[in-house]
Amino acid sequence: MHEKEDFGTGANHYVSSLFHATRQQGVDPMPLLAEAGLPLSVIDQPEQRIPTEKLANFQKYVWDRMQDEAMGLAGCSLPAGTYYMMGQLTVHQPTLGKALALGCRFYNLVTRRELISLTDDGRHTLLSINLPRPELDYKHLFAEIALLSWHRYASWLIADSLPLVETHFNYPAPAHVGEYSYLYPGVHQFDCDDLSLVFSNIYLNRPVKQNEGSLKSFMNNCPRELFRRYKTDYSVTTELKRILTKELTDGGLTIDQAAAALHMTTRTLTRRLSEEGASFQQIKNVVRRDLAIRWLVGPDDIAIHDVAERVGFSDPAVFTRAFRSWTGDSPRRYRDKFRQGR
């Protein structure tokens, strides 16, 4: 998903997975697809991106038709309106931490399971999705939507993008993994034991800045609102990503140069990043990885050695080793897997 338009475009994977998952639940997706303004010809066409607003509308029509926000994919039902009622309860809380804790408790009462959990290791907080029957989740569709929904809602509550240190996925990297750099900013860890958003616990004390009036607007625009990137993100992590993305093809910046560009000392930059649960090298690797993936799987068929140069590696062999450490695959194998629609 990109920012050229208000909502941009989404990977074909999402509309196709929604289509097939709905059919598996015994619901005819054809009229819902037509209502969203999407032709049947878009289904199962990996190279064809979908306007995100139409994708979001299709998802809403599926929710409304099935009267289950889990779409039968979680092993437990989430009656229509669950997300909105969670918002009604949590928007009045004083801090993000209290809001998330109450939101988790509400979901667990509705499902009579520990579907959502919030844990703290002293530095980082993990918001985890615990599916009772993960084998029912068609191509991990509910897992992706649930993580996205909670991250976007948490960001909206504090009127700022909540920086993610990591996102844990309890499944292998999918073919559309290039989309994850937009959906879940930060480092992605696959084949984990948990399905979690990981962020610095300093954000638990951030005040809730929304109210019941703004909640109504947010929820009326869901799920479209979930795909909107918050423009009020002034975190140092995000600012550093923007600077590194602009300068990367010229060999990148040192931490001293980056600090100067941000009008702070290197020591201050290091401290601010640590407070957000990040480090300079970690962010630089994320930017390199995400740009490399974008160019590897893009339509222009850029040579691998050119991709290496674009992300600041003069030696393609060094780039290959780094890319394998980020994704588990060499650049060539990663590109081949994507094209095969693994």
**Share of residues in the chain with pLDDT > 70 (%):** 92
What is the dihedral sign for C-alpha 32, 34, 35, 37?
positive
pLDDT band at 239 (very low <50, low <70, confident <90, very high): confident
Distance between CA atoms of residues 125 and 103, nearest Å:
15
Q: Are 284 and 322 in contact (CB under 8 A)?
A: no
DSSP single-letter state for residue 122: S
Can you list the pairs that 291-296 forms with residues at least 24 positions away whose Cβ atoms lie under 8 Å?
291/245, 291/248, 292/319, 292/323, 292/331, 293/177, 293/178, 293/181, 293/327, 293/334, 294/178, 294/181, 296/331, 296/334, 296/335, 296/338
How far apart CA 97 and CA 200 sit, in angstroms, is 11
Does 26 have pLDDT greater than 90? yes
Nearest to 310 by CA among 296, 324, 327: 296
Mean per-residue pLDDT, 156-176: 91
> Is the four-CA dihedral 11, 13, 14, 16 of positive or negative sign?
positive
Residue 11 vs residues 60, 180, 269, 298: alpha-carbon distances, Å: 17, 10, 35, 12
Residue 69 — φ and ψ, nearest 5°? -70, -10
**pLDDT at residue 229, rounded to an integer:** 56
Q: Give the DSSP H or E segment for 24.
A: helix 12-24
Query: What is the spatial distance between Cα 69 and Cα 18, in angstroms, rounded to a whole number?
Result: 12
Tell me which of 9 and 234 has the higher pLDDT: 9
- Report whether pLDDT(5) > 50: no
Residue-wise pLDDT for 275-324, tens only, equals: 767 789 888 888 888 788 878 877 778 999 999 988 888 899 999 999 98
Q: Could you report how far apart the first and last alpha carbons of the chain are, in Å?
A: 20
Instruction: Pick the closest to residue 290 from 190, 168, 186, 195 (CA basis).
Output: 186
Q: How many CB atoms lie within 10 A of CB 231?
A: 8
**Which structure tokens are listed for 114?**
């520990």
Q: What average pLDDT does the structure give for the chain?
A: 87
10 pLDDT tier (thresholds 50, 70, 90)? confident
Give the range among 56-70, 257-271, 280-294 with minimum mean pLDDT.
Answer: 280-294
Residue 1 pLDDT exceeds 60: no
- Statement: residue 3 has pLDDT above 80: no
Query: What is the pLDDT at residue 274?
Result: 82
* Weakest-pLDDT range from 84-88, 171-175, 245-249: 245-249
Q: For residues 303 and 290, what is the distance between their CA atoms, to the nearest angstrom? A: 16
Instruction: Print burial letters for 46-81: b (CB count within 10 Å at least 16), e (below 16).
Output: beebbbbbbbbbbbbbbbebbebbbbbbbbbbbeee
Give the pLDDT confidence score for residue 251 in this predicted structure.
59
Return the structure tokens found at 246.
């602009």
Residue 6 has pLDDT above 50, yes or no: no
User: What's the predicted TM-score (pTM) here?
Assistant: 0.69
- Indicate the pLDDT class of residue 7, thresholds 50, 70 and 90: very low
pLDDT number for residue 4: 37
Residue 40 CA to residue 46 CA, distance in Å, equals: 14
Which of 101-105, 120-124, 165-169, 283-287 tops mean pLDDT?
101-105
Q: Is 8 left (phi over 0), alpha (psi -120 to 50) or beta?
A: left
Above 70 in pLDDT, residue 123? yes
Q: Is the pLDDT of residue 147 over 50?
A: yes
Spatial distance between the Cα atoms of 32 and 21, rounded to a whole number of angstroms: 13
